[in-house]
């Protein structure tokens, strides 16, 4: 039987009820999705840029998930094994000034959305997985800046270039996920961001994957789903923490109905409330102990 979602706090006609603990299953709304993927090794190219300044790419995301839970970036380095080479990744909104003259436009990166802690790079190829936990718009610019490197032959590091992009939002003129250029910050002001192309003519699309979920919920939380003559309360709580479920007929006076133990963000406890023929109108909420 299909169930009908009814919101996070729903009003229902209930009187006598019996809580029945059921099996758990993942919250569909919290599933992670890959919204940008340019990591196919078959499309990897030796063409890239080894820069000391901050640089990166504006990308357009597929899907609707915008809470970024993981950001993977691929780099390649040639430097001594005892060198200490670090990188910092940043996310920017493209809400700056226009970098182009004429009818076309390309708004510069400006507002900082997120900045990683420095992370260490090793010689050779490397994929670094970061955990931003930040909401981003449908398109934004990621950048990287390297330290501890000279960017000369034998002492350099660069983001890997891969084409074509596998997952991304459709763009004008047949592009997907990103255009062929990249951003480079040539100075210290917001207006020093400039657009460049790779000298080889290869599209400047870098080895990056973005994984995201819908916006996270605040814990503890509760959702009511109607199934036949029953209400199913799906309760999210911090793993191992007690969650108190309360009911109210008027949203002013609340009384405890039962308690459950939280199982973590992605796994709700499902409790069936068997409705009788009474006329009490109940609201439901979950709170910490």
| Tens digit of each residue's pLDDT, the chain (289 residues) | 333 333 322 322 232 233 333 333 334 445 789 999 999 988 898 789 999 999 999 999 999 999 999 999 999 999 999 999 999 999 999 999 999 988 888 999 999 999 999 999 999 999 999 999 899 999 999 999 999 999 999 999 999 999 999 999 999 999 999 999 999 999 999 999 999 999 999 999 999 999 999 877 677 888 888 777 777 888 888 888 899 999 888 888 899 989 999 887 667 888 887 665 442 467 888 988 7
Residues with Cβ within 8 Å of residue 14, at least 6 apart in sequence: 231, 247, 273, 275, 276, 278, 280, 281, 282
Looking at residue 279, its pLDDT comes to: 29
Q: Give yes or no for a contact between 289 and 244, defined as CB atoms under 8 angstroms apart.
A: yes
Looking at residue 24, its pLDDT comes to: 33
Looking at residue 281, its pLDDT comes to: 60
Q: Which of 233, 235, 237, 239 is nearest to 273 (CA)?
A: 233
Q: How far apart are CA 214 and CA 66, in angstroms?
A: 6
User: Which residue carries 């008027």 as its tokens?
Assistant: 250
Q: How far apart are CA 159 and CA 127, in angstroms?
A: 10
In 3-state terms, what secondary structure has residue 88?
strand
Q: How far apart are CA 151 and CA 121, in angstroms?
A: 14
Looking at residue 210, its pLDDT comes to: 98
Q: How far apart are CA 15 and CA 280, in angstroms?
A: 5
Tokens of 176: 């997907």
Q: What is the pLDDT of residues 277-287, one digit of tens each?
A: 442 467 888 98
Which domains, ranges and CATH numbers included, belong to the chain?
4-29+217-288 (2.60.40), 39-206 (2.60.120)
pTM comes to 0.69
């Amino acid at each position: 039987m299909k169930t009908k979602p009814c919101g996070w706090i729903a009003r229902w006609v209930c009187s006598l009820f019996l809580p029945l603990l059921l099996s758990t299953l993942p919250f569909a709304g919290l599933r992670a999705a890959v919204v940008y993927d340019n990591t196919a090794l078959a499309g990897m190219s030796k063409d890239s840029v080894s820069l000391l300044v901050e640089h990166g790419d504006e990308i357009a995301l597929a899907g609707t998930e915008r809470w970024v839970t993981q950001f993977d970036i691929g780099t390649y380095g040639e430097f001594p094994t005892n060198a200490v080479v670090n990188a910092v990744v940043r996310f920017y909104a493209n809400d700056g000034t226009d970098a182009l003259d004429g009818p076309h436009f390309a708004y510069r990166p400006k507002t900082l959305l997120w900045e990683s802690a420095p992370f260490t790079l090793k010689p050779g190829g490397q994929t670094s997985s970061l955990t931003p936990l930040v909401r981003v718009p449908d398109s934004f610019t990621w950048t990287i800046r390297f330290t501890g490197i000279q960017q000369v032959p034998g002492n350099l590091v660069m983001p890997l270039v891969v084409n074509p992009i596998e997952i991304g939002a459709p763009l004008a003129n047949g592009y997907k996920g990103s255009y062929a250029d990249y951003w480079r910050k040539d100075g210290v002001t917001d207006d020093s961001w400039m657009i460049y192309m790779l000298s080889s003519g290869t599209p400047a699309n870098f080895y990056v994957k973005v994984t995201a979920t819908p916006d996270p919920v605040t814990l503890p939380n509760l959702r009511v789903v109607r199934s036949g003559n029953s209400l199913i309360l799906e309760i999210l709580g911090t793993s191992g923490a007690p969650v108190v479920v309360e009911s109210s007929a008027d949203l002013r006076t609340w009384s405890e109905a039962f308690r459950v133990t939280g199982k973590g963000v992605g796994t709700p406890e499902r409790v069936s409330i068997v409705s009788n023929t009474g006329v009490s109108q109940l609201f439901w909420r979950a709170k910490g102990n």
